[in-house]
A and B are shown apart, each in its own frame.
Chain A
Amino acid sequence: MPNLTLSQLTKAFGATCALREVSFDVAPGERIAILGHNGAGKSTLMKIVLGLIPHDSGRVEVLGAAPGDRAARRQVAYLPENVAFHPALTGLEQIRTYLRLRGEPVSAAMGLLERVGLADAARRRIGTYSKGMRQRVGLAQALIGKPRLLVLDEPTSGLDPVSRRDFYTTLDGLAADGASILLSSHALTEVEARTDRIVILSKGVMVANASLDELRLQAALPIQMHVQARAGAVEKVAESLGGTRFNGARVNLTCLPDQKLSRLTQVTALGALVEDVDVIPPSLEDLYTHFSKQVQP
């Protein structure tokens, strides 16, 4: 049974349609990234899943319960976008409060703060924290207990690259234990490597819902090949392969996915003239642009 089921989910704010008939499931252990421009409906979708705002029509089931149901809230963790805390409390006090609210022993507070690298600042007031530190307090509270569904809105904003990597490693651990993860992000490159499936929202409509490989296949965007020629051989390489010359030593080719192997055969046929070849599949940015440009009704 999926941990989260959305079926024909629709939500309008006045005349603007925030979400239109969005349907997808999240299985236990699955990591899903929701991508979309600002205002595409990512945060709205998350708030509906959490029961913070009601939806107009469609069905939402969170761990077998209605969204916002106490049974659901017990097992769902949330990290809001731009998470905020009362500036007068220390990080430790804040996490202890959240532990009590979840009925967990407060002795776990320091361990949680250590996990997000805040042990040294634990006894300082949150008012003195940087944005990245507040974000880490937010992560620490999302790790309380054993959440079966984590809803994370832009979880890595404000984090440095090392913290980001640590954060995704933590998520991998949670997912391996069977937790479902639903996150939104603007940093497409990190999502690329760290999620199982990608949902793209555009103006409230789900335009894509598949793994990165499947999305590449669906989009059939051209593949880039960078052919590095031996010294003095770039003329010959360009002549036989076509494409555009770059930097005087490289030839750039583009081809469709189904032409990839035949193109590579041509490249290897040049033998010693070629020093190296890089095959660059369409990036998530390309796919994202492709899918979010799809015609809207």
Chain B
Amino acid sequence: MNAVLAISVAEFRIAFRNRWVAIAIAMMALFSLVLAGAGSAPTGTLGADRLSVTVASLTSLAVYLVPLVALLMSFDAIAGEVERGTLSLMLTYPLGRFEILLGKFIAHLLILSLAVAIGYGLAAAAAIWSDPRASAGFPAMLRLFWTSLLLGGAFVAIGYAISALARRPGAAAGLAIALWLVMIVLYDLGLLAAVVADDGGLFTTAVFPWLLVGNPADAFRLYNLAASEATAAAAGIGAAAHTIPPAHALASILLWPLLGLGMAVLAFRKVIP
């Protein structure tokens, strides 16, 4: 375990010196504050407390931003070591490849949790400052926080798998962006198009819910939306989401980080320095 922590400490230090910690925090803080400001308008009409509304806005933000930050931090993890020529020496030390990945994972997840905590914290502070009823939204905010970490963890791990498969940082960066586009942006559009074309057929009732819950980003959105009725209205796929039990969505976001790490380990095992 000492070895894993040694990797984490070095990795965190490198990310800190390379300004990645600052960049991740700044991105999350900036977007959260913008949303907190923009989200203030509909409060009165919905009748929900300010923090719950903020959580709803943050949920749709986090679906895009958390995977992006996670992939940006992780795509270089293995490809970068291969390119710098640092991997071969590391692999002669008495620790397993899984331990190397785990060490990096802990560091990257820590950075992500810092960024998310500061970002959401600022938004929450703004909500509480302007609405005394806002404390009602605390459980939703807390749920958003830890599910964001699971979502980020899933994409950090997937980023490692990409990094190991690509073996070159440039290729890994391209793959990471492509994956983000497909899984976060195009996936929902594709599903929506399929549902429309299917017109309530077998696909919509039997296949679509599984496809939706199978994507960690959608599962994350579903789980957070299901818990908060105020936000269901805001989501395009909200109606379909009602057919999926929140427990399935939760299982998906719990499983994805493990699945991602599994894929990363398999891909990393094949890397010859």
Contact = CB atoms under 8 A, between A and B. Distances in A.
Interface of A: 47, 50-53, 70, 73-74, 76-78, 80, 82-86, 88-89, 93-94, 96-98, 100-103, 125, 138, 141
B6 interface: yes
B10 A89 contact: yes
B92 A76 contact: yes
B2 interface: yes
B202 interface: no
Contacts of A80: 85, 88-89
Interface stretch (B13-21, B145-153, B256-264): B13-21
A88 B273 contact: no
Contact of B94 (A53, A70, A94): A70
B61 interface: no
Given A52-B92, A74-B94, A86 B84 contact: yes
11 contacts: A73-B93, A78-B89, A84-B86, A84-B89, A85-B86, A88-B18, A89-B13, A89-B14, A97-B6, A100-B5, A138-B89
Interface residues of B, number: 25
Among B7, B92, B93, B95, chain A packs the most CB atoms within 10 A around the CB of: B92
Contacts, number: 72
A96 B9 CA distance: 10
Nearest to B85: A84
Contacts of B94: 70, 73-74, 101-103
B272 interface: yes
Given A97-B9, A101-B3, A86 B14 contact: yes
Nearest to B6: A100
B13 A93 contact: yes
Contact of B93 (A93, A101, A125, A138): A101
B91 interface: yes
Contacts of B95: 101
B9 A86 contact: no
B88 to A, nearest CB: 5
Contacts of B17: 88-89, 125
A147 to B, nearest CB: 11
Among B6, B13, B18, chain A packs the most CB atoms within 10 A around the CB of: B6
Nearest to A83: B89
